[in-house]
Amino acid sequence: MKIEMKEQFYKYIQNLQNTITSSLEKIDGKAVFREDLWERPGGGGGRTRVIENGAVFEKGGVNISAVHGELPEAMQKYFGVENADFFACGLSLVIHPKNPHVPTVHANWRYFEMYDKKGSVIDRWFGGGQDLTPYYLYEEDAIHFHKVCKQACDKHQESFYPDFKEKCDRYFWNSHREEARGVGGLFFDYCRKNEDFSIEDWYAFVTEVGDSFLDAYTPIVQKRMNTAFTMEEREWQEIRRGRYVEFNLVHDKGTLFGLKTKGRIESILMSLPPHVQWVYDHHPESGSPEEKLLNVLQHPRSWTE
């Protein structure tokens, strides 16, 4: 009997969550992930795993969920449908390291189905991506992260990396600040069956990207996690974290979808860092490493050429 795509992908993200959390615990060496199982009123639930106050990771979450039910009215208007039901599952992670020389990372891989009242699938698609948010720019780290992303994409179609890299630069853009959240990576959404790709082909691509995550991120962590840092560098990290919070609360579609579908608040806001600053009219010194980062964030560039 053929396994339904939603069951196949949910099993995949369950296993991926185990792989990622065990790997990050080994790197941290002190803290372990706390697991929290929860149920969603209206249908479904999830498995939240959070690490806090570690030797390397100040706060991080690796969450999976599978929720279903009647599509809320606000989302029906967004999708232009009426009387629709939905199923959505995915893995979402954000890792905030303690050391300002280690970048924050975010990743998400998800699958969505929409049904009519007879239970027939009327639409389905994959989405996701992974992106890097450094506080100090090490160009070799950005190049490594993007090269791993490109390698995963190129196994499926060579146009994917430049397309999804550009989409990432556009999506993770704090328009009210006129700057990017980080140095980007991949962002893709509404990956539906078409003339070139079946839904199974999209599954193969999305899982390829998911499987590449640890290779993209953990070498950077291991290279930078013992770098000495000053209180001034830590303050800069907290100021930049404020921009991360601004994006998540103002622009992020996943956060807004979770809030509009009455998702679990603790899991939705898990992405927010524990220590943040908003300093009035802050500008880094001319010629400083901090200004170097801002120049790149204001003018996204290629990292693989």
d(CA 130, CA 19): 16
d(CA 131, CA 94): 10
d(CA 216, CA 131): 10
Indicate the residue type of 21: T
3-state DSSP call for residue 208?
Answer: helix
Mark whether 176 is an active-site residue. Answer: no
d(CA 134, CA 184): 10
In Å, how far are 14, 86, 87, 122, 126 from 83, measured between CA atoms?
30, 10, 14, 12, 22
Determine which one of 101, 106, 144, 146 is catalytic. Answer: 106
In Å, how far are 33, 34, 57, 60, 225 from 54, measured between CA atoms?
10, 12, 5, 10, 12
Active centre residues (catalytic): 106
